[in-house]
Amino acid sequence: NQSSSQRLRIAIQKSGRLSKDSQKLLKSCGVKFNVNEQRLIAHADNMPIDLLRVRDDDIPGLVMDGVVDLGIIGENVLEEEQIERESLGKDAAYTKLRQLDFGACRLSLAVPNEFDYRDSGSLEGLRLATSYPNLLRRYMQSKGIVYKDCMLKGSVEVAPRAGLADGICDLVSTGATLEANGLYETEVIFKSMACIIQSSVPQSDAKQALIDKILSRVNGVIRARE
Ligand code: PRP
Ligand code: ZN
Ligand code: MG
């Protein structure tokens, strides 16, 4: 059928923290392609590989549904989607082929500079803005703290100043975003790197051989960069 391709499909982030490094890694593995910013798909010239350039948040679901064969994604987004799907009884299977050497970040709790924070108990009963409601809930349940949700897909860091929330749970890389918004990091709840994942759908021998080849090249590229 139309939607099951002979070509290997790899989902990568269209634009954002992981997109340049993801493209660079594939190019270092010998996959030749040119990205047209307007296009969703980039076809490799020298191998039967298509790159799908999508929002990072869509990548775990595309792999778990078997729409694409491989995905390059942050463990934060992956873990969030997995908890979400498991709670809904949806298919959440995938294979992590390996962790990569880029995309380091942490999901952290942060509060306004004037907030007198002692420990996570200081957040009891307060409202927290986040794009990661499942990872936040798991952490707060483990601490036995009840809080209120403020679900935002973007602009999480402005929520406290806008009076929408008392604190946030968001990704921190350099810390510049927190600082620019008068917030400070109080607790790391999840540490993340980019990783490469494979769909659990059985592959043809030819496609699996190509996946194995790509993976062994990824291993070589990363070893050479260490
Ligand atoms: C994260 C987060 C902050 C920023 C923090 O977004 O939401 O906006 O990075 O980085 P900093 O500590 O270096 O300032 P990001 O764009 O990585 O995630 P997204 O692409 O999923 O929005
Ligand atoms: Zn995103
Ligand atoms: Mg962002």
> Looking at residues 18-26, what average pLDDT do you find?
98
Distance of CA 185 to the CA centre of its chain: 20
Q: How many helices (H) and strands (E) does the chain have?
A: 6, 11
Q: Which of 136, 171, 191 to mutate to test the pocket of ligand 1 (most atoms within 8 A of CB)?
A: 171
Could you tell me the domains of the chain? 8-103+193-225 (3.40.190.10), 105-191 (3.40.190.10)
Query: What confidence score (pLDDT) does residue 161 get?
Result: 97
CA of 157 to the centre of ligand 1 (A): 10
The predicted pLDDT at position 5 comes to 76
Confidence of residue 154 (pLDDT cuts 50, 70, 90): very high
C-beta 88 within 6 A of ligand 1: no
Distance (Å, whole) CA 149 – CA 177 = 21
Whether the ipTM is more than 0.85: the answer is: yes
174 lines ligand 1 (CB under 6 A): yes
> What is the pTM for the complete model shown?
0.94
Check if the beta carbon of residue 171 is closer than 8 Å to that of residue 191.
no
